[in-house]
Amino acid sequence: MTGVTLISTGGTIASRHSEQDGAVTASLAGAALMGMLHDPLDGIDVRVQEFRELNSFALTLADAHGLVAAIRTALDAPDCAGVVVTHGTDTMEESAYLADILVAGDKPVVFTGAQRHAGDPDSDGPRNIADAIRVAAAPQARGIGAVILFEGEIHAARDVTKAHTSRTDTFRSPGAGKLGEVDLGEVHLYRHPGARRIVADAGLAEGVELLKLGLGATPALLEFCAQSGAPGVVIEGFGRGNAPRGFAPVVARLTQAGVPVLLASRCFEGRTRAVYGADSGGTTLVEAGALMTGTLPGLKSRLLLAALLGQGAGRDEIAAALLRA
């Protein structure tokens, strides 16, 4: 028998509609989810561990860090081939990315969930759980790191994002594509993700902020970050990594005070690059001390920065980590 541990954290997959207040709320434990599976999992021994029963929009960074610790402990068991995490879709890509950068080793960590709650007659949860367990148990999945399994598709945590608010095929990997799929219970991997970026786990710095820019945005929120003592800031700018006029002087003030400022793009595909000058273009922001994140999107750049600051990384270490991200 191949051992797999399922860690339940709530989310839509563990939710039912309440007639009393008309809302969908997480309430089902992992054992109940396993009882709803339609397919036999021959040759796989699944152990269930409860972590939280919360919708993922209610999770904190501390919760996510605790989940990473629970994953690591489960994987340490010699008879555990891999871990499945049931999780709400709203922040699944973030928790999965944290697991990818903080959990070493080659045993797979497979996140899954549902877009239709457990009370729906056509809920996608049971099939997603069964497929995720098959991926976690598959010998060919060793070395893929943390992934998201949804609607039969396997996506690398580093690349994946939630692309649709309600469709069951919500997860996509822009510019990269899926790693593989589960077809009629068989696991097929078409490629492996790039080299893993493992960060020493010394905790996550709280208060790292993410600012998404729009046409004509002012640096008022960035000023607030400077005044409120944010330990780091990620700016999700335009195109190659540009911002409206007025941002560069505030970036310079932050970086001169030792606060790292990372510059990501709000585009789904492509790489940041210091190309445009003047008026807070990319070259001006880099001259002001900002560090570009390459192809790593803003959501995940924030988590990487929080992990690096948690271990006391300085500017040079952060810059080196971004080159590998």
306 in the same domain as 224: yes
pLDDT of residue 93: 98
In a domain, 292, yes or no: yes
234 in the same domain as 312: yes
Q: Given the residues 2, 5, 9, 12, select the one marked as catalytic.
A: 12
Q: Is 14's pLDDT higher than 80?
A: no
86 classed as catalytic:
no
Q: Which residues are annotated as a binding site?
A: 56, 89-90
pLDDT of residue 104: 96
- Percent of the chain whose pLDDT exceeds 70: 98
The dihedral region occupied by 289, where left means phi > 0, alpha psi between -120 and 50, and beta the remainder, is left
pLDDT of residue 182: 98
pLDDT of residue 145: 97
Q: Is 17's pLDDT higher than 80?
A: no
The domain tally of the chain equals 2
Q: Which residues pair with 180 in a beta bridge?
A: 154, 189
Quote the domain boundaries for residue 296. Answer: 209-324
Q: Given the residues 5, 9, 89, 161, select the one marked as catalytic.
A: 89
Q: Is 174's pLDDT higher than 70?
A: yes
227 in the same domain as 184: no
CATH number reported for the structural domain that contains residue 263 in this entry: 3.40.50.40
User: Average pLDDT in the 84-109 region?
Assistant: 97
d(CA 246, CA 314): 26
Q: Is 19's pLDDT higher than 70?
A: no
Cβ atoms 212, 244 nearer than 8 A: no
How does pLDDT run across 238-278, given as a tens digit for each residue?
Answer: 999 999 999 999 999 999 999 999 999 999 999 999 999 88
The dihedral region occupied by 221, where left means phi > 0, alpha psi between -120 and 50, and beta the remainder, is alpha
Query: What six digits make up the tokens of 173?
Result: 């990997």
60 classed as catalytic:
no
Q: Where are the alpha helices (DSSP H) in 11-124?
A: 30-34, 61-76, 92-102
pLDDT of residue 18: 67
Neighbours of 66 (CB within 10 A): 15
Report CA Rg, the chain.
Answer: 20
235 in the same domain as 269: yes
Stated pTM of the model:
0.95
231 in the same domain as 138: no
In a domain, 199, yes or no: no
Q: Which residues are annotated as a binding site for substrate?
A: 56, 89-90
300 in the same domain as 270: yes
168 in the same domain as 243: no
Q: Is 76's pLDDT higher than 80?
A: yes
d(CA 159, CA 176): 7
